[in-house]
Amino acid sequence: MTKAAADTTSPRPQGARPEPEGAAKRLLFITGTRADYGKLEPLAAAARDAGFEITFFVTGMHLMRRYGNTAHEVHKFQGATIHEFINQADGDPHDLILAKTIMGFSDWIKEFPPDLVVVHGDRVEAIATALVCATNYIPCAHIEGGEVSGTIDELYRHCVSKLCRYHFVSSEKARLRVLKLGEAEADVFPIGSPELDIHKAPSGVTLQAVKDYYDIPYADFGIVVFHPVTSERDTIGRQAGALFRELQDSGRNFVVISPNNDPGSDQIFKVIEGLPAGRFRHIPSLRFAYFSELMRHASAVIGNSSMGVREAPFLGIPSLNIGTRQMNRAEAPSVVHCQGTDCDGIRAFLRDHWGRRQPPDQSFGSGNAARRFVEILQQPAFWVRPLQKEFHDN
Protein backbone atom coordinates (compact mmCIF):
# COMPACT_ATOMS: atom_id res chain seq x y z
CA MET A 1 0.00 0.00 0.00
CA THR A 2 1.46 3.36 -0.98
CA LYS A 3 0.63 7.01 -0.80
CA ALA A 4 2.56 10.12 -1.72
CA ALA A 5 2.62 13.78 -0.84
CA ALA A 6 4.84 16.20 -2.70
CA ASP A 7 5.90 19.82 -2.47
CA THR A 8 8.43 19.65 -5.30
CA THR A 9 8.37 18.09 -8.74
CA SER A 10 8.58 14.28 -8.60
CA PRO A 11 11.54 12.52 -10.23
CA ARG A 12 11.24 11.84 -13.95
CA PRO A 13 9.67 8.47 -14.80
CA GLN A 14 11.65 5.73 -16.50
CA GLY A 15 11.83 6.26 -20.24
CA ALA A 16 11.79 10.06 -20.07
CA ARG A 17 14.16 12.01 -22.29
CA PRO A 18 17.71 12.45 -20.92
CA GLU A 19 18.21 15.35 -18.55
CA PRO A 20 19.82 18.50 -19.90
CA GLU A 21 23.45 18.94 -18.93
CA GLY A 22 23.72 20.56 -15.51
CA ALA A 23 20.31 19.34 -14.26
CA ALA A 24 20.10 18.69 -10.53
CA LYS A 25 20.97 15.15 -9.47
CA ARG A 26 18.10 13.26 -7.85
CA LEU A 27 18.87 11.74 -4.43
CA LEU A 28 16.49 9.19 -2.88
CA PHE A 29 16.81 8.57 0.88
CA ILE A 30 15.33 5.37 2.35
CA THR A 31 14.05 5.71 5.92
CA GLY A 32 12.26 3.09 7.99
CA THR A 33 12.81 4.22 11.58
CA ARG A 34 13.07 7.31 13.76
CA ALA A 35 16.74 6.37 14.33
CA ASP A 36 17.89 6.24 10.71
CA TYR A 37 15.97 9.41 9.85
CA GLY A 38 17.96 11.25 12.51
CA LYS A 39 21.10 10.27 10.63
CA LEU A 40 19.80 10.85 7.10
CA GLU A 41 18.07 14.19 7.68
CA PRO A 42 21.30 16.25 8.09
CA LEU A 43 22.70 14.74 4.89
CA ALA A 44 19.48 15.37 2.94
CA ALA A 45 19.24 18.95 4.21
CA ALA A 46 22.82 19.76 3.23
CA ALA A 47 22.34 18.16 -0.20
CA ARG A 48 19.08 20.08 -0.75
CA ASP A 49 20.79 23.34 0.16
CA ALA A 50 23.57 22.51 -2.31
CA GLY A 51 21.04 22.17 -5.15
CA PHE A 52 20.31 18.43 -5.25
CA GLU A 53 16.74 17.18 -5.73
CA ILE A 54 15.63 15.25 -2.63
CA THR A 55 13.07 12.45 -2.24
CA PHE A 56 12.29 10.29 0.80
CA PHE A 57 10.92 6.76 0.57
CA VAL A 58 9.24 6.33 3.97
CA THR A 59 8.38 2.85 5.24
CA GLY A 60 8.83 0.49 8.21
CA MET A 61 8.22 1.64 11.78
CA HIS A 62 7.52 5.18 10.58
CA LEU A 63 4.02 4.07 9.56
CA MET A 64 3.15 2.06 12.67
CA ARG A 65 0.95 3.55 15.39
CA ARG A 66 2.62 1.62 18.19
CA TYR A 67 5.92 3.33 17.43
CA GLY A 68 4.56 6.85 17.21
CA ASN A 69 3.67 7.21 13.50
CA THR A 70 6.97 9.02 13.03
CA ALA A 71 6.40 9.57 9.31
CA HIS A 72 5.05 12.97 10.33
CA GLU A 73 8.62 13.95 11.25
CA VAL A 74 9.78 13.23 7.69
CA HIS A 75 6.91 15.28 6.28
CA LYS A 76 8.27 18.33 8.09
CA PHE A 77 11.32 18.26 5.82
CA GLN A 78 11.04 21.25 3.48
CA GLY A 79 11.68 21.03 -0.24
CA ALA A 80 11.42 17.27 -0.79
CA THR A 81 9.10 14.73 -2.33
CA ILE A 82 7.76 12.25 0.24
CA HIS A 83 6.52 8.78 -0.70
CA GLU A 84 5.11 6.32 1.85
CA PHE A 85 5.00 2.53 1.57
CA ILE A 86 3.49 0.26 4.24
CA ASN A 87 5.75 -2.80 4.27
CA GLN A 88 4.58 -4.69 7.36
CA ALA A 89 1.97 -5.45 9.96
CA ASP A 90 2.84 -5.55 13.65
CA GLY A 91 4.57 -8.85 14.40
CA ASP A 92 5.73 -9.67 10.87
CA PRO A 93 9.05 -11.59 10.81
CA HIS A 94 12.09 -10.08 9.10
CA ASP A 95 11.93 -12.36 6.05
CA LEU A 96 8.35 -11.35 5.29
CA ILE A 97 9.17 -7.65 5.72
CA LEU A 98 12.14 -8.14 3.41
CA ALA A 99 9.97 -9.71 0.72
CA LYS A 100 7.25 -7.06 0.95
CA THR A 101 9.78 -4.24 0.76
CA ILE A 102 11.58 -5.71 -2.24
CA MET A 103 8.30 -6.06 -4.15
CA GLY A 104 6.99 -2.62 -3.30
CA PHE A 105 10.25 -0.75 -3.84
CA SER A 106 10.99 -2.58 -7.10
CA ASP A 107 7.68 -1.42 -8.57
CA TRP A 108 8.08 2.11 -7.25
CA ILE A 109 11.63 2.78 -8.38
CA LYS A 110 10.85 1.83 -11.97
CA GLU A 111 8.39 4.74 -12.03
CA PHE A 112 10.65 7.19 -10.17
CA PRO A 113 14.30 6.33 -10.94
CA PRO A 114 16.83 8.46 -8.99
CA ASP A 115 20.47 9.17 -9.72
CA LEU A 116 21.52 7.87 -6.30
CA VAL A 117 19.79 5.94 -3.53
CA VAL A 118 21.00 6.49 0.04
CA VAL A 119 20.42 3.81 2.70
CA HIS A 120 21.54 3.60 6.29
CA GLY A 121 22.83 0.96 8.62
CA ASP A 122 21.55 -2.53 9.20
CA ARG A 123 17.76 -2.70 9.01
CA VAL A 124 15.77 -5.01 6.75
CA GLU A 125 14.57 -2.04 4.68
CA ALA A 126 18.18 -1.18 3.85
CA ILE A 127 18.90 -4.72 2.62
CA ALA A 128 15.72 -4.82 0.53
CA THR A 129 16.21 -1.49 -1.20
CA ALA A 130 19.95 -1.99 -1.72
CA LEU A 131 19.23 -5.37 -3.33
CA VAL A 132 16.71 -3.81 -5.70
CA CYS A 133 19.26 -1.15 -6.61
CA ALA A 134 21.98 -3.73 -7.23
CA THR A 135 19.81 -5.86 -9.52
CA ASN A 136 18.74 -2.78 -11.49
CA TYR A 137 22.20 -1.15 -11.64
CA ILE A 138 21.06 1.91 -9.71
CA PRO A 139 23.91 3.50 -7.72
CA CYS A 140 23.37 3.08 -3.98
CA ALA A 141 25.28 4.67 -1.09
CA HIS A 142 25.51 3.07 2.35
CA ILE A 143 25.77 5.26 5.45
CA GLU A 144 27.67 3.86 8.47
CA GLY A 145 28.78 0.54 7.06
CA GLY A 146 31.84 -1.32 8.29
CA GLU A 147 30.82 -1.44 11.96
CA VAL A 148 30.72 -4.42 14.30
CA SER A 149 28.16 -5.30 16.94
CA GLY A 150 28.13 -9.08 17.29
CA THR A 151 24.43 -9.58 16.54
CA ILE A 152 22.44 -10.27 13.37
CA ASP A 153 22.52 -6.50 12.77
CA GLU A 154 26.19 -6.85 11.88
CA LEU A 155 25.40 -9.55 9.32
CA TYR A 156 22.75 -7.32 7.75
CA ARG A 157 25.10 -4.34 7.72
CA HIS A 158 27.86 -6.18 5.86
CA CYS A 159 25.32 -7.51 3.36
CA VAL A 160 24.16 -3.97 2.63
CA SER A 161 27.76 -2.87 2.12
CA LYS A 162 28.33 -5.55 -0.50
CA LEU A 163 25.19 -4.48 -2.36
CA CYS A 164 26.13 -0.78 -2.44
CA ARG A 165 28.53 1.08 -4.70
CA TYR A 166 29.44 3.92 -2.29
CA HIS A 167 30.23 3.91 1.43
CA PHE A 168 30.07 6.87 3.81
CA VAL A 169 31.54 5.51 7.02
CA SER A 170 31.79 6.94 10.52
CA SER A 171 35.43 6.18 11.37
CA GLU A 172 38.78 5.06 10.06
CA LYS A 173 38.25 1.60 11.57
CA ALA A 174 34.96 1.28 9.70
CA ARG A 175 36.68 2.34 6.48
CA LEU A 176 39.28 -0.41 6.87
CA ARG A 177 36.59 -3.04 7.51
CA VAL A 178 34.71 -2.05 4.36
CA LEU A 179 37.95 -2.35 2.39
CA LYS A 180 38.37 -5.87 3.81
CA LEU A 181 34.98 -6.69 2.30
CA GLY A 182 36.56 -6.11 -1.11
CA GLU A 183 35.23 -2.61 -1.82
CA ALA A 184 37.18 -0.12 -3.90
CA GLU A 185 39.16 2.39 -1.87
CA ALA A 186 37.93 5.18 -4.15
CA ASP A 187 34.33 4.42 -3.09
CA VAL A 188 34.82 4.57 0.71
CA PHE A 189 34.57 7.96 2.43
CA PRO A 190 35.00 8.56 6.19
CA ILE A 191 32.66 11.41 7.17
CA GLY A 192 31.66 10.61 10.76
CA SER A 193 28.21 9.84 12.15
CA PRO A 194 25.67 12.29 10.67
CA GLU A 195 23.48 12.55 13.79
CA LEU A 196 26.39 14.19 15.62
CA ASP A 197 25.89 17.21 13.36
CA ILE A 198 22.55 17.74 15.08
CA HIS A 199 23.89 17.26 18.59
CA LYS A 200 26.77 19.65 17.89
CA ALA A 201 24.41 22.49 16.94
CA PRO A 202 21.85 24.17 19.23
CA SER A 203 18.64 22.13 19.34
CA GLY A 204 16.41 25.15 18.81
CA VAL A 205 14.20 24.25 21.80
CA THR A 206 14.56 24.66 25.54
CA LEU A 207 14.62 21.83 28.05
CA GLN A 208 11.47 23.22 29.65
CA ALA A 209 9.69 23.18 26.28
CA VAL A 210 10.63 19.49 25.87
CA LYS A 211 9.41 18.65 29.37
CA ASP A 212 6.16 20.50 28.82
CA TYR A 213 5.49 18.87 25.44
CA TYR A 214 6.13 15.32 26.66
CA ASP A 215 4.85 15.79 30.21
CA ILE A 216 8.18 14.97 31.85
CA PRO A 217 8.10 16.16 35.48
CA TYR A 218 11.65 15.24 36.56
CA ALA A 219 14.50 17.61 37.39
CA ASP A 220 16.98 14.72 37.41
CA PHE A 221 16.51 11.80 35.03
CA GLY A 222 18.12 9.10 32.92
CA ILE A 223 17.10 7.97 29.42
CA VAL A 224 16.45 4.27 28.78
CA VAL A 225 16.20 2.57 25.38
CA PHE A 226 16.27 -1.23 25.41
CA HIS A 227 15.76 -3.03 22.09
CA PRO A 228 15.21 -6.75 21.45
CA VAL A 229 18.09 -8.87 20.16
CA THR A 230 16.72 -11.31 17.60
CA SER A 231 19.12 -14.12 18.54
CA GLU A 232 18.14 -13.78 22.23
CA ARG A 233 14.36 -13.92 22.00
CA ASP A 234 14.24 -16.66 24.63
CA THR A 235 15.92 -14.46 27.23
CA ILE A 236 15.16 -10.87 26.22
CA GLY A 237 12.13 -10.64 28.51
CA ARG A 238 14.19 -11.82 31.47
CA GLN A 239 16.93 -9.30 30.62
CA ALA A 240 14.38 -6.48 30.42
CA GLY A 241 12.83 -7.58 33.71
CA ALA A 242 16.18 -7.58 35.53
CA LEU A 243 17.19 -4.21 34.08
CA PHE A 244 13.98 -2.39 34.93
CA ARG A 245 13.77 -3.94 38.41
CA GLU A 246 17.17 -2.45 39.21
CA LEU A 247 16.15 0.91 37.77
CA GLN A 248 12.97 0.85 39.82
CA ASP A 249 14.82 -0.11 43.00
CA SER A 250 17.31 2.73 42.49
CA GLY A 251 14.68 5.33 43.36
CA ARG A 252 15.73 7.47 40.37
CA ASN A 253 13.58 8.84 37.54
CA PHE A 254 13.70 7.65 33.93
CA VAL A 255 12.38 8.59 30.50
CA VAL A 256 11.81 5.31 28.64
CA ILE A 257 11.64 5.32 24.83
CA SER A 258 9.91 2.39 23.14
CA PRO A 259 12.00 -0.42 21.65
CA ASN A 260 12.07 -1.08 17.93
CA ASN A 261 9.86 -3.66 16.23
CA ASP A 262 12.30 -6.58 16.06
CA PRO A 263 11.08 -10.01 17.27
CA GLY A 264 10.99 -9.98 21.06
CA SER A 265 9.71 -6.42 21.43
CA ASP A 266 6.42 -7.66 22.93
CA GLN A 267 8.32 -9.07 25.92
CA ILE A 268 9.99 -5.71 26.52
CA PHE A 269 6.73 -3.80 26.13
CA LYS A 270 5.15 -6.10 28.72
CA VAL A 271 7.83 -5.13 31.25
CA ILE A 272 7.64 -1.42 30.42
CA GLU A 273 3.87 -1.33 30.70
CA GLY A 274 4.12 -2.70 34.25
CA LEU A 275 6.41 0.10 35.49
CA PRO A 276 5.17 2.68 38.03
CA ALA A 277 4.18 5.81 36.12
CA GLY A 278 5.45 8.14 38.83
CA ARG A 279 9.12 7.48 38.11
CA PHE A 280 9.03 6.11 34.57
CA ARG A 281 7.76 8.29 31.72
CA HIS A 282 7.21 6.00 28.72
CA ILE A 283 7.23 7.76 25.33
CA PRO A 284 6.89 5.92 21.97
CA SER A 285 9.13 8.36 20.13
CA LEU A 286 10.51 11.91 20.38
CA ARG A 287 11.03 14.62 17.80
CA PHE A 288 14.73 14.57 17.03
CA ALA A 289 15.47 18.14 18.16
CA TYR A 290 13.53 17.50 21.36
CA PHE A 291 15.37 14.23 21.90
CA SER A 292 18.70 15.99 21.41
CA GLU A 293 17.88 18.66 23.99
CA LEU A 294 16.60 16.08 26.49
CA MET A 295 19.70 13.95 26.06
CA ARG A 296 22.04 16.89 26.71
CA HIS A 297 20.52 17.22 30.19
CA ALA A 298 20.26 13.53 31.10
CA SER A 299 22.26 12.18 34.03
CA ALA A 300 22.80 8.87 32.23
CA VAL A 301 21.85 6.86 29.14
CA ILE A 302 21.01 3.19 29.72
CA GLY A 303 20.14 0.31 27.40
CA ASN A 304 21.44 -1.17 24.15
CA SER A 305 20.77 1.56 21.60
CA SER A 306 23.59 3.01 19.53
CA MET A 307 22.83 6.35 21.18
CA GLY A 308 24.61 5.00 24.25
CA VAL A 309 27.85 4.38 22.38
CA ARG A 310 27.75 7.30 19.91
CA GLU A 311 25.71 10.32 20.97
CA ALA A 312 26.16 9.92 24.74
CA PRO A 313 29.98 9.82 24.57
CA PHE A 314 29.98 12.71 22.07
CA LEU A 315 28.04 14.76 24.62
CA GLY A 316 30.08 13.49 27.57
CA ILE A 317 27.11 11.71 29.19
CA PRO A 318 27.83 8.48 31.11
CA SER A 319 26.15 5.47 29.55
CA LEU A 320 25.52 1.86 30.53
CA ASN A 321 25.58 -0.48 27.54
CA ILE A 322 23.52 -3.59 28.25
CA GLY A 323 24.18 -6.97 26.64
CA THR A 324 25.43 -7.89 23.15
CA ARG A 325 23.61 -5.56 20.77
CA GLN A 326 26.46 -3.01 20.61
CA MET A 327 29.24 -5.54 21.26
CA ASN A 328 32.73 -4.30 20.28
CA ARG A 329 31.31 -1.03 19.00
CA ALA A 330 32.31 1.46 21.73
CA GLU A 331 35.67 2.40 23.20
CA ALA A 332 34.83 5.69 24.89
CA PRO A 333 35.75 5.81 28.62
CA SER A 334 32.28 7.14 29.45
CA VAL A 335 30.67 3.81 28.39
CA VAL A 336 30.27 1.03 30.96
CA HIS A 337 29.33 -2.48 29.77
CA CYS A 338 27.42 -5.22 31.56
CA GLN A 339 25.03 -8.08 30.82
CA GLY A 340 21.29 -7.63 31.02
CA THR A 341 20.94 -9.83 34.08
CA ASP A 342 24.02 -8.42 35.87
CA CYS A 343 22.12 -6.71 38.67
CA ASP A 344 25.29 -5.85 40.59
CA GLY A 345 26.76 -4.16 37.51
CA ILE A 346 23.62 -2.13 36.87
CA ARG A 347 23.46 -1.11 40.51
CA ALA A 348 27.14 -0.10 40.53
CA PHE A 349 26.72 2.07 37.43
CA LEU A 350 23.76 3.93 38.92
CA ARG A 351 25.75 4.51 42.11
CA ASP A 352 29.13 5.44 40.66
CA HIS A 353 28.48 7.09 37.30
CA TRP A 354 25.11 8.83 37.51
CA GLY A 355 25.46 12.49 36.57
CA ARG A 356 29.26 12.39 36.27
CA ARG A 357 30.11 14.07 32.97
CA GLN A 358 33.09 12.98 30.92
CA PRO A 359 35.17 14.81 28.29
CA PRO A 360 33.45 14.65 24.87
CA ASP A 361 34.54 11.72 22.71
CA GLN A 362 34.92 12.06 18.93
CA SER A 363 35.50 8.42 17.97
CA PHE A 364 32.53 8.66 15.57
CA GLY A 365 33.24 12.11 14.18
CA SER A 366 33.26 15.77 15.11
CA GLY A 367 29.87 16.89 13.82
CA ASN A 368 30.63 17.85 10.20
CA ALA A 369 29.42 14.75 8.34
CA ALA A 370 26.85 16.57 6.19
CA ARG A 371 29.39 19.05 4.86
CA ARG A 372 31.76 16.22 3.94
CA PHE A 373 28.91 14.28 2.31
CA VAL A 374 28.02 17.17 0.01
CA GLU A 375 31.65 17.91 -0.85
CA ILE A 376 32.00 14.34 -2.10
CA LEU A 377 28.76 14.45 -4.11
CA GLN A 378 29.91 17.67 -5.77
CA GLN A 379 32.98 15.97 -7.25
CA PRO A 380 32.31 15.08 -10.93
CA ALA A 381 34.31 11.84 -10.58
CA PHE A 382 31.74 10.55 -8.07
CA TRP A 383 29.10 10.22 -10.80
CA VAL A 384 31.14 8.37 -13.43
CA ARG A 385 32.00 5.11 -11.65
CA PRO A 386 31.34 1.90 -13.67
CA LEU A 387 27.97 0.23 -13.15
CA GLN A 388 29.59 -3.17 -12.55
CA LYS A 389 31.43 -3.53 -9.23
CA GLU A 390 34.62 -5.54 -8.86
CA PHE A 391 36.10 -7.25 -5.83
CA HIS A 392 39.31 -5.56 -4.67
CA ASP A 393 41.95 -7.54 -2.78
CA ASN A 394 42.83 -4.66 -0.51
For residue 263, what pLDDT is reported?
85
For residue 280, what pLDDT is reported?
97
For residue 29, what pLDDT is reported?
98
Q: Which fold has domain 2-191+368-384?
A: Rossmann fold (3.40.50)
Pinpoint the residues of the chain covered by CATH 3.40.50.2000: 2-191+368-384, 204-352
Angle between helix 34-49 and 369-377 (nearest 10): 50
CATH 3.40.50.2000 fits 204-352, yes or no: yes
For residue 16, what pLDDT is reported?
36
Contact in structure between 302 and 247 (CB atoms under 8 Å): yes
Q: How far is it, in rounded angstroms, from Cα 175 to Cα 226?
A: 28
Which residues of the chain are modeled with pLDDT < 50? 1-18
For residue 330, what pLDDT is reported?
72
For residue 12, what pLDDT is reported?
38
